Amino acid sequence: MSGRPGDADTFIRHYKPLSSANENMDVSGIFVITDGDCVDGVYIAVKDSDNTYAECIADHNYAQGSGDQWALAALDHGKTAKEAVEYAMTRDVYSGGKVHVYDIDKGEFI
């Protein structure tokens, strides 16, 4: 999730593609859909400028938030996802907090 922390729970509870979103909400996220033990897809979910929820498949390295360019550059230079976010946190004053890493293949946080 990226954006205002207080908006994350609301986003998760009310997310449905193309439905109306709270216009004051500032949050987006990345989510994984599974079918049993198999990953069906990794998606990027956002609130569009017209205040509707939208999603697209994440089929490439992707980062979101104010430190996204720092994180992508770190990935380009061989850092792991966790290391990339930690690096972005050293360069971007708005990035911070605990770094959570989700292993898509294992279906769990590591």
Spatial CA neighbour of 31 closest among 44, 19, 49: 44
pLDDT of residue 91: 96
The pTM score is 0.69
Distance CA 74, CA 81 (A): 9
Structure tokens given for 1: 């999730």
Q: What is the Cα 68 distance to its own chain's centre?
A: 10
pLDDT of residue 23: 75
pLDDT of residue 76: 95
Q: Where are the beta strands (DSSP E) in 58-109?
A: 102-103, 108-109
The residue extents of the domains of the chain are: 1-59, 60-110
Distances (CA, A) of 24 to 14, 55, 77: 14, 19, 36
Low-confidence ranges of the chain (pLDDT < 70): none
Distance CA 77, CA 21 (A): 37
Q: How many residues does the chain have?
A: 110
User: How confident is the model over 54-80, as pLDDT tens digits?
Assistant: 888 988 888 888 899 999 999 999 999
